[in-house]
Amino acid sequence: MDLKLAGKRALITGGSKGIGQASALVLAAEGCDVTLVARDPAALEAAAGAIRARHQVAVRTIAADLSNDAAIRRVAEEAGVPDILVNNAGAIPPGEITAVSDETWRRAWDLKVFGFISFCRTIYPRMAERKSGVIVNVVGAAGEQFPPNYIAGATGNAALMALTRALGRQAPRDGLRVVGINPGPVATERLVMLQRARAQEQFGDAERWAELFAPMPFGRAASPEEIGNAVAFLASPASGYTSGSILTINGGAG
């Protein structure tokens, strides 16, 4: 399916692995030039190399710690105004209310919650000046499920859902769209690593990690590519009347 994205420029945070890298690959397959942003220069170059090997598009990388506003402003200046901004960087640690320290809570929110907010505050006005652009916030299903053992993530994701819905209501009058995706479990390297540790603890064999996915819908977690496909579709003219909406991709789990 041609999503009419050829020649567009996409900026993807957390673009060196997982959902970010998968989103970049899908967008590049649709003809988008992509700029990947993450902390690790080596991981960025590996991800960029994988895209260049498959697709004839321009690929840039910018190494930055997106937990502070100065770095976000620098990235925005280096990248220029994209047609598509994919906010994806950040992973909030698990834990109940007393298990997550103030320092951990604030550090995680600086990257994911305030990182998304700061990127929107920086990029949105520039997109609005030209009356075109799409922001896709990859948030997380905990923001609507409220698991108590992931309270910092649930609370942060709920805040980002509110940001997406509120800014998405404003966006049409500025010629823009703002949408969100709430993935459930996704088989990223990080999740597989955690599942391997659980399998070692539970079964005494880390190689049995896939068995832990059995209770999930379809007996598995989502693939990063499935989330990347949704990012590209929501960013495309094929979804041109969608703003302020959040798509939950969790296999139908309650």
Rounded to an integer, the average pLDDT of 22-43 is 98
| 216 shares its domain with 101 | no
Whether residue 115 lies inside any domain: the answer is: yes
pTM higher than 0.75, yes or no? Answer: yes
pLDDT in tens, 172-204: 999 999 999 999 999 988 888 878 888 888 999
114 contacts: CB under 8 Å, gap ≥ 6: 67
| Percent above pLDDT 90 for the chain | 89
- Distance, CA of 50 to CA of 45 (rounded, Å): 9
Asked if residues 72 and 66 have their Cβ atoms less than 8 Å apart, the reply is: yes
* pLDDT value, residue 194: 79
- Is residue 88 over pLDDT 80? yes
Count of domains for the chain: 2
Rounded to an integer, the average pLDDT of 148-157 is 96
- Is residue 13 over pLDDT 90? yes
| 91 shares its domain with 169 | yes
| 155 shares its domain with 213 | no
Asked if residues 4 and 235 have their Cβ atoms less than 8 Å apart, the reply is: no
| 150 shares its domain with 213 | no
| 228 shares its domain with 212 | no
| Percent above pLDDT 70 for the chain | 100
| 131 shares its domain with 156 | yes
| 19 shares its domain with 42 | yes
| 166 shares its domain with 56 | yes
* pLDDT value, residue 189: 85
Mean pLDDT of the chain: 96
* pLDDT value, residue 150: 93
Domain with 160, as residue range(s), is 9-186+224-246
